[in-house]
Chains A and B, each alone.
Chain A
Amino acid sequence: ETGVTQTPRHLVMGMTNKKSLKCEQHLGHNAMYWYKQSAKKPLELMFVYNFKEQTENNSVPSRFSPECPNSSHLFLHLHTLQPEDSALYLCASSQFLRTDTQYFGPGTRLTVL
């Protein structure tokens, strides 16, 4: 696999479920990001990790819990979500935090019933 991969590609969950999104980058990058993409809204940066350390949490509700065990992997743990959390969740990586280009994965389409 090359680039940034995300699994699963689609996820349907109930409001009481617990699920996790996985992101893996094969680019040797050191910074990783979670974004939320909702219809007709700008991409919203959720979390930023730099060398496995979280550097940014953009006021994201605690029902979203990120985890970065190493520079290649990023998880987003989900629990007791709301229907308005339904969106495309994108993972991205960049070589360093101070780098021009972010490389995005294909996203996980999440539907909360």
Chain B
Amino acid sequence: QQQVKQSPQSLIVQKGGISIINCAYENTAFDYFPWYQQFPGKGPALLIAIRPDVSEKKEGRFTISFNKSAKQFSLHIMDSQPGDSATYFCAASRDNYGQNFVFGPGTRLSVLP
């Protein structure tokens, strides 16, 4: 119930392509779904987040699509760039409660020049 599943484990995309990472959850009490980006040697940093009252949120080249009935959400990176190469983590929490954050296992994205 507390688990967040994430796929794929790794992803290779050509520069300019679209990167898509998918996550699924079971706990219907989750109401906040952030994506974190982590570069080597750095801690994760919040990239974009969504709440269940909207089905899509876009910030620049990054878009979250949310399907409440399927309990799935995904990150789309448009016009992927080599600088986007990093590990991406989806997460979920209930009531904004920091101690209830549950993270997915991560997706290592490599964008080829």
Where the two chains meet, the residues of A that have a C-beta atom closer than 8 Å to any C-beta of B are: 4, 31, 33, 40-43, 45, 48, 55-56, 90-92, 94, 97-107
Contact = CB atoms under 8 A, between A and B. Distances in A.
Contacts of B101: 45, 102
A97 B105 contact: no
A98 B96 contact: yes
Given A40-B9, A42-B4, A43-B89, A99 B98 contact: yes
A104 B105 contact: no
A56 to B, nearest CB: 4
Contact of A104 (B32, B41, B43, B98): B43
18 contacts: A33-B98, A33-B99, A40-B9, A40-B106, A42-B4, A42-B106, A43-B44, A48-B99, A55-B99, A90-B44, A94-B98, A97-B97, A97-B98, A99-B96, A100-B32, A106-B41, A106-B42, A106-B43
Interface in B13-36: 32, 34, 36
B104 A92 contact: no
Nearest to B41: A106
B11 interface: no
Given A56-B99, A97-B98, A42 B43 contact: no
B43 A4 contact: yes
B102 interface: yes
A45 B47 CA distance: 20
Given A43-B103, A100-B32, A48 B43 contact: no
A102 B46 contact: yes
Contact of B105 (A40, A45, A102): A40
Nearest to B96: A98
